[in-house]
Amino acid sequence: MADRPPLTLTAATLDDAPALMALRTTVADRLTRDHGRGHWSSPGTEAGVQRALQAPGVFVARDGADIVAALRLVTKRPWAIDPQYFTPVERPLYLLDMVVRPDRQRHGIGRACVADAVRLARAWPADAIRLDAYDTAAGAGPFYAKCGFRERGRVIYRGTPLVYFEMLLRESTPSRGRNAHQPP
């Protein structure tokens, strides 16, 4: 792999929908095999992938023509993320749906994707990247911590244990009212 050029994220297109769906299915199947059935066992639908691709923010990492990783960066806060756990900032981005092809995991692709997502977020411009990870053996919390994200809290959302993480990209905005560093 040392001879390969570094992987960078590029915007996905509608033509990528079948490959993205296949990647998500492969990852969901591997997580289910390794950790049993859980929220991670559902890869979604191709229609859902196509809807996501109609908005900006879906990025893929390719090795030649093959998509080996994908993620979304969005400005709209996902339902499962409670902003009270995070440092108050004006322009947060949310990192969602990050997947790396199982046979390419533990080869630096995930870290390269996170580094490129940070580069994209700074150019957006965003003040922070926020995300949640499953608080189970199937979750990627330790990976995000190794990539420089700080744990901000642990919650149960609709029966699913989650860990919140953030990476500040700029100085934070002073808190107004309740201290957002403390969970409710």
Output the CA torsion sign for 42, 46, 48, 52.
positive
CATH superfamily placement of domain 9-168: Gcn5-related N-acetyltransferase (GNAT) (3.40.630.30)
What is the reported pLDDT for 5?
57
- pTM to 2 decimal places: 0.87
pLDDT digits (tens, 9 = 90+) for 94-123: 999 999 999 999 999 999 999 999 999 999
Check residue 43 and give its pLDDT.
Answer: 85
**pLDDT 10s digits, 75-87:** 999 999 999 999 9
Compute the mean pLDDT over every residue in the chain, rounded to the nearest whole number: 89
pLDDT band at 39 (very low <50, low <70, confident <90, very high): confident
Q: Domain boundaries in the chain? A: 9-168
